Structure 1
Amino acid sequence: MMTVLLDRRRGLAAVFDGVGSGPGQLASQLAARVMRRIWKQQHAESSIIIASEQLTLADTLLHMFNEAHRVIRLEGERRARRLELYNDYPATTAALTLFCYDDTTHVYHMFYAHVGDSRIYRWRPGEPLQRLTEDDGYLSLKIADGSVTPEDALRIDQAFSRSELTRLEKSYFDNRNGITQALGHEKSLIVHIGDIDILPGDRILICSDGIHDNLTDAALAVLLEKEKRTTIAKKIVQQAIECSHQPTSENMRAKSDDMSAIVVTCHSSF
C-alpha cells in the first residue's frame, strides 16, 4: 500500500500511504506518478532549484495535489464501472517536500504539503523535534468540537501505556487512525501547505502512520539525533517494526502496518 517518491537531484521527496489494500496501492502509485510528472515538467533541470527563479512552489504543490486527486477519482470511477465495486474507491494519504536554495539569504528552503496522517518532522541539533504537519484525523475532529484541547490531544497521541490515559482518552487513542482527508476521497480536498528554512545539520523526516503509530516523537528524536545519515531511515523503520511485534499491557502503541520513512539531511550551504 506504500509508495515512496524520491528525486534527489530535483529536491523532491514524498511518502504515500494507500487506504485499504488493492485500491490503496493503486492510489499511492497514481499519486506518485502524477506528482513526479508535474514536477519534472515544471522543473526540467536535474538540480535543486534556485528560489529566485520564476517558480511559485506553493502554487505548484497545490496543483500537484489537486491533479493527483483528480486522476485518482477518475480511475476510481472507471474501476467502479468495470468491476461494479462502488464502495471500494482508491485513496491515499500524501506527505511531500520540495527543497530549493535561496541565493539571497544563502540558505536552503523547504516547501511542504500533506493530506491525511502521513507526517513531516524537522529535527535541528539542540532543539526539540518539530512536527510540521497536523493529521487530518479523529483527534483533530475532537479538537475542533471542543472535546479536547490541542495539548491534551498531543498527550493522548504520544501516550505509550494505557495507564497514562483515562477511559475516555483511551477511546480517543484507539480511534486516532481514522482519517478525514485523502487523495481520492469523495469530499472536497483540503491541502495543507507550509514552508520553512533549512539549516546545516537539520534533518527532515517524512513518514507514514505505521512509523509514528509505533514510535513516539521522543523515540524519533533520539534516532534522528544518534543515527548515521546513511542508515537513519532504515533504523527508524526497523525500530517501528520491532515495536509493532511487541504488544503488551504497557505498550499500547504496537500496531502492524505498512511502514515507510525518508530522512533528508542538510549537510552544508549550497
Structure 2
Amino acid sequence: MTVSVRAYSTSGVTHTSLTFVRYSVPHEGHAYYNDDTILLDRQRGLAAVFDGVGSGPGQVASRLAARVIRRAWKELHAESRIIPFSTLSNPEGLLLDMFESAHQQIILEGERRARSLQEYARYPATTAALAFFSYDEESHTYHMFYAHVGDSRIYLWRPEQDLKRLTNDDGYLALKILDGSITPEDALRIDQASCISELSRLEKSYFDNRNGITQALGHEKSVEVHTGHIDIQPGDRVLLCSDGVHDNLTDQTLALLLEKEKPTTVARKIVQRAIVSSHQNVAENMRAKSDDMSAVVITCATIS
C-alpha cells in the first residue's frame, strides 16, 4: 500500500506531500522467513529498515527493534500526523533514546534465550537505519532526522545532483580507513567495484570482507549510534535499504532507479533489480550475492 502524507502551508499557496513505499523479500534460501524488518509509520513520518545479523536470531532482533521503536514513537507522538518543527525539541536525543531502548531490549532477549536454552546460543543483533520527518510551517519545508548502526544505509537523491550517501557503514572498510591502509576515496572505489579487474588483489580481499560489521543493536553492552539531519526539498527522494540491496547495486544504478521510477513502484523496482543482480554469474558481476533485501523510498513532491 502507498500512502501520501500532506503538510499544508499556512499561506495556502503550496502543499508538500511525502509518499512512502516499501518492498522486502527474504533470502531465496529461506523463503519462509525474513531477517529484515521494515518499520513504517506514514502518518507520523517515521521509516526504518532493520537487518538481523545471522539467520534465526537476526529475525528476532530486527522484529524486536521495530516493535520497541514503534511503541516508543507512538507514545511520544499520540497525534497521527507529521511532527510540527516548532514543537520538536532535542531530535538527536529522541533518536538516541529510541535506539538505546531497542538495544537494551535485544540484549535482555538474548540473555533470556541463553538461560532458557541452557546452552550456547547465538545472541540476537540487528543493524538499523531510521529517519523521521518534521514539517516547518514557517519555511514550508521538511526536516529529516536520521540515525543508523551497522551497514543498513540511507541515501538522498536530489534532481540534477549526484546520489548522496548520508550514512557511513560500521564495517571492515571503515576499519581499514582508521588504520591507514586505505583512504576514504579508496574505500568508496572498492565498495562500488563490479568487476575484479577494477581492483588489485589486496583491494579484492578488502571487497570480500566489506560485509563484516563492527557493531549492531544487541551486539555489545554499548553501541555508538550515528545521527544526522538534512532539509528535504520538493523532488527529493530518500532511500533506506539493507545491505542485500546496496551490495548488489552500485550507487550509480540506485541513482538511475531513483530518478526514473514512479513514486508508487520505486522501492519494488529497486529490490527487483537487486534480485536480478544477485543471480548473475559472480565472474561477470562480483557484487552478486543472495540475501534478504529491503527498501523504503520516501518521495517529497509539491502539489499545486
Q: TM-score range by the shorter chain?
A: over 0.9
**8 Å contact 2:36–2:52 — kept in the other structure?**
yes
**8 Å contact 1:79–1:85 — kept in the other structure?**
no
Partner of 1:100, secondary structure, is strand
Q: How many residues align?
A: 270
1:269 Cα deviation (Å)?
7.3
Q: Of 86, 90, 94, which residue of structure 2 is paired with 1:56?
A: 90
Amino acid at match of 1:60: L
**8 Å contact 1:107–1:269 — kept in the other structure?**
no
In 2: Cα distance, 1:260 partner to 1:54 partner? 29
Partner of 1:135, secondary structure, is coil
**8 Å contact 1:108–1:269 — kept in the other structure?**
no
1:145 Cα deviation (Å)?
0.5
Q: Of 232, 236, 247, which residue of structure 2 is paired with 1:213?
A: 247
4+ long deviations beyond 4 Å = none
Structure with bigger strand share is 2
Q: Aligned residue for 2:152? A: 118
In 2: Cα distance, 1:29 partner to 1:269 partner? 35
Q: Of 88, 91, 97, which residue of structure 1 is paired with 2:125?
A: 91
Alignment of 1:136-215 (within 5 A): 136-215=170-249
Range with greater deviation from structure 2 (75-84 or 126-135):
75-84
* Higher relative contact order (CA closer than 8 Å, sequence separation 6+): 2
In 2: Cα distance, 1:205 partner to 1:57 partner? 20
Q: In structure 2, list runs of 5 or more residues that go unmatched.
A: 1-34
Alignment of 1:9-20 (within 5 A): 9-20=43-54
**8 Å contact 2:84–2:134 — kept in the other structure?**
yes
Amino acid at match of 2:192: Q
In 1: Cα distance, 2:85 partner to 2:184 partner? 34
In 1: Cα distance, 2:278 partner to 2:221 partner? 32
Q: Aligned residue for 2:115? A: 81
In 2: Cα distance, 1:97 partner to 1:75 partner? 25
Q: Aligned residue for 1:21? A: 55
Change (3 A) 1:54 1:169: closer
Alignment of 1:207-246 (within 5 A): 207-246=241-280
Are 2:295 and 1:264 aligned? no
Change (3 A) 1:85 1:93: farther
Partner of 2:247, secondary structure, is helix
Range with greater deviation from structure 2 (80-89 or 260-269):
80-89
In 1: Cα distance, 2:121 partner to 2:287 partner? 30
Q: Aligned residue for 2:30? A: none
In 2: Cα distance, 1:33 partner to 1:87 partner? 22
In 2: Cα distance, 1:218 partner to 1:94 partner? 23
In 2: Cα distance, 1:106 partner to 1:231 partner? 27
Range with greater deviation from structure 2 (84-93 or 259-268):
84-93
Partner of 1:266, secondary structure, is strand
Q: Aligned residue for 1:7? A: 41
In 1: Cα distance, 2:65 partner to 2:281 partner? 33
1:33-63 per-residue CA deviation (whole Å, 9 max, x = no partner) reads 0001111111111000101104322111000
Are 2:77 and 1:37 aligned? no
Among all aligned residue pairs of Structure 1 and Structure 2, give the percentage whose two residues are the same amino acid. Answer: 71
1:184 Cα deviation (Å)?
0.3
1:7 Cα deviation (Å)?
0.7
1:116-150 per-residue CA deviation (whole Å, 9 max, x = no partner) reads 00000000000000000000000000001000000
1:173 Cα deviation (Å)?
0.1
Q: In structure 1, list runs of 5 or more residues that go unmatched.
A: none
In 1: Cα distance, 2:281 partner to 2:119 partner? 35
1:66-92 per-residue CA deviation (whole Å, 9 max, x = no partner) reads 000000000000000111343500000
Range with greater deviation from structure 2 (160-169 or 186-195):
186-195
**8 Å contact 2:113–2:121 — kept in the other structure?**
no
1:3 Cα deviation (Å)?
0.5
In 2: Cα distance, 1:196 partner to 1:175 partner? 31
Range with greater deviation from structure 2 (201-210 or 246-255):
246-255
Are 2:159 and 1:109 aligned? no
